[in-house]
């Protein structure tokens, strides 16, 4: 869609088209190593406002969410013993670190935001990139946000209820309000959003201080299939290690701050997770952990006594930070995919005053709210489950063995659960991907547009005060 068909807040004679992965961020770099000003001097839509501290806060705040308070039970059940469960927790941190190091090389080499989407676009072309954006934008990212916000609702309500369990409607209402709040924060300010991510680690450190003699346990060797599902439980808690790559265009000096943020943040989270699990096992026996619906709540009841209500509140704070970081990164993926023409144009617009990708954020929030209203945590979790470029500069490079190890682990983690426990949800996922491929040809490849899209775009510009990327409003 050309800019002449959109409502413009500036003189049309100086309008410029959005940058693409082929002609924008990969070709135009400033001294910080990313997208600078375009050739005609106009500034891009998103600004570089994520420094080293904000990068660390984004990774830590997104990773430390509801997973560490939910996953220990499932992981212990699947491994069958405390030593194996602690080993899996540590190995999950190692796998996340190896993957993040490989992503750090990609992020400093390919300076466009969007993480996997940008890498697929450059390495394999538009169709694989489109398929990734389709599945991530419509299912993966919104379902992650919905799960985290529902978990937040459960822990918040838990802190203020006595014996009567809260109704499902109450939990969903709190979840919807949480989605609305984190979306508003991200629409208003990038700095406010990244600052909100940094509270989770502080809460995690403060809420697990008491240790008792470690409980004894029996040693049981898990099967290969059980070990794979145990890794799924652990890696769910580590999810978010790649989120900084979704905002590469907004990182100050990404050649330095992107790998440094990863190297600092992920070991912090790994050590924290190991200490938290040791704390759980110091207070509860393995059998008690297996029958606990909420390990963190049981832990708090044991050590805090009358102040046990502080535990669900602390968990809620961590979960809120994770929700904030999740939508922060998800909005950038939607923004970049729309900028490349793989989603409707309006999702690549930015707010003309604060320069945040408000339409992309609102779209993710809307899909997440639909998921919250129509399902629960269990159903959402069930549904959720490069050619050689020698001429591209690599400010940061990892040994070839690291991506090979990550690739082998990824193949194992994909195939082992399917072989060990075939489920109908896998068929649903395949059908949804096939549907995305079906609409690619008419709407993306041949640029077919529905007649109401132009009017919807103009109406959205007036309502939300948004402009296409690369344009600036009149003074």
More confident residue, 403 or 333: 333
Name the pLDDT band for 285 (thresholds 50, 70, 90): confident
- Please say if the pLDDT value at position 284 is more than 80: yes
Banded model confidence at residue 1, pLDDT cuts 50, 70, 90: very low
The first and second tokens of residue 36, run together, are 């600078």
Report which of 193, 210, 196 is spatially closest to residue 317, judged by C-alpha positions: 196
Q: In this model, does residue 114 exceed pLDDT 50? A: yes
For the ranges 105-119, 137-151, 211-225, 258-272, the one whose mean pLDDT is highest? 258-272
| Tokens linked to 3 | 């800019």
The stretch 2-24 carries a mean pLDDT of 40
The tokens for 112 are 């466009």
Q: For the segment 188-202, what is each residue's pLDDT rounded down to a tens digit?
A: 876 666 655 545 544
Domains delineated in the chain:
45-386+405-467 (1.20.1740.10)
Average pLDDT of the chain? 75
Torsion of CA 371, 373, 375, 378, to 10 degrees: 90
Position 220 confidence tier, pLDDT thresholds 50, 70, 90: low
d(CA 237, CA 62): 10
Tell me the per-residue pLDDT of 43-63, one tens digit each, with 9 for 90 and over.
546 778 888 988 898 888 888
Cα separation, 29 vs 39, in Å, equals: 11
Q: Where are the alpha helices (DSSP H) in 375-447?
A: 377-383, 401-420, 424-440
Q: Is 196 helix (H, G, I), strand (E, B) or coil?
A: helix
Q: Which residue has the tokens 């890696």?
A: 235
pLDDT at position 369 is 92
pLDDT, average across residues 207-230: 59
For the chain, the first-to-last Cα distance in angstroms comes to 25
Beta strand pairing call for 466-467 and 350-351: antiparallel
């Amino acid at each position: 869609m050309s800019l002449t068909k959109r409502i413009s807040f500036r003189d049309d004679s100086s309008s410029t088209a959005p940058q693409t992965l082929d002609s924008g961020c990969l070709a135009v770099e400033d001294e910080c190593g990313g997208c600078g000003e375009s050739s005609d001097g106009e500034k891009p839509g998103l600004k570089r406002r994520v420094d080293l501290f904000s990068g660390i806060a984004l990774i830590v705040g997104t990773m430390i969410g509801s997973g560490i308070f939910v996953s220990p039970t499932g992981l212990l059940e699947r491994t069958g013993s405390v030593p194996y469960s602690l080993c899996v927790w540590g190995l999950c941190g190692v796998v996340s670190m190896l993957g993040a190091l490989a992503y750090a090389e990609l992020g400093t080499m390919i300076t466009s935001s969007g993480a996997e989407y940008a890498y697929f676009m450059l390495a394999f072309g538009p169709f694989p990139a489109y398929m990734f954006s389709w599945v991530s934008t419509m299912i993966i990212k919104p379902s992650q946000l919905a799960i985290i916000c529902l978990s937040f609702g459960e822990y918040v309500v838990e802190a203020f209820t006595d014996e009567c369990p809260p109704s499902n409607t109450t939990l969903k209402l709190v979840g919807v309000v949480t989605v609305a709040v984190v979306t508003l924060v991200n629409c208003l300010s990038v700095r406010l959003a990244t600052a909100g991510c940094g509270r989770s680690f502080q809460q995690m450190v403060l809420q697990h201080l008491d240790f008792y003699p470690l409980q004894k346990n029996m040693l049981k060797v898990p099967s290969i299939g059980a070990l794979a599902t145990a890794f799924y439980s652990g890696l769910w808690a580590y999810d978010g290690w790649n989120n900084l790559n979704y905002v590469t265009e907004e990182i100050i000096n990404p050649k330095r701050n992107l790998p440094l943020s990863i190297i600092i943040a992920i070991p912090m989270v790994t050590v924290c997770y190991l200490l938290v699990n040791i704390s759980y096992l110091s207070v509860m026996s393995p059998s008690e952990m297996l029958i606990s619906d909420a390990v963190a709540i049981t832990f708090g009841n044991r050590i805090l006594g009358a102040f046990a209500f502080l535990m669900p509140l602390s968990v809620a704070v961590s979960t809120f930070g994770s929700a904030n970081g999740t939508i922060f990164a998800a909005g950038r993926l939607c923004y970049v995919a729309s900028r490349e023409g793989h989603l409707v144009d309006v999702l690549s617009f930015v707010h003309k005053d604060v320069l945040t990708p408000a339409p992309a954020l609102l779209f993710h929030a809307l899909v997440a709210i639909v998921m919250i209203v129509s399902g629960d945590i269990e159903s959402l979790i069930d549904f959720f489950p490069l050619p050689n470029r020698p001429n591209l500069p690599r400010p940061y490079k990892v040994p070839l063995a690291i991506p090979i190890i990550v690739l082998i682990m990824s193949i194992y983690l994909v195939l082992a659960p399917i072989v060990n426990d075939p489920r109908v949800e896998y068929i649903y996922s395949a059908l949804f991907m096939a549907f995305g491929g079906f609409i690619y040809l008419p709407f993306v490849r041949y640029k077919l547009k529905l007649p109401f899209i132009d009017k919807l775009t103009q109406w959205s510009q007036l309502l939300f005060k948004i402009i296409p990327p690369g344009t600036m409003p009149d003074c």
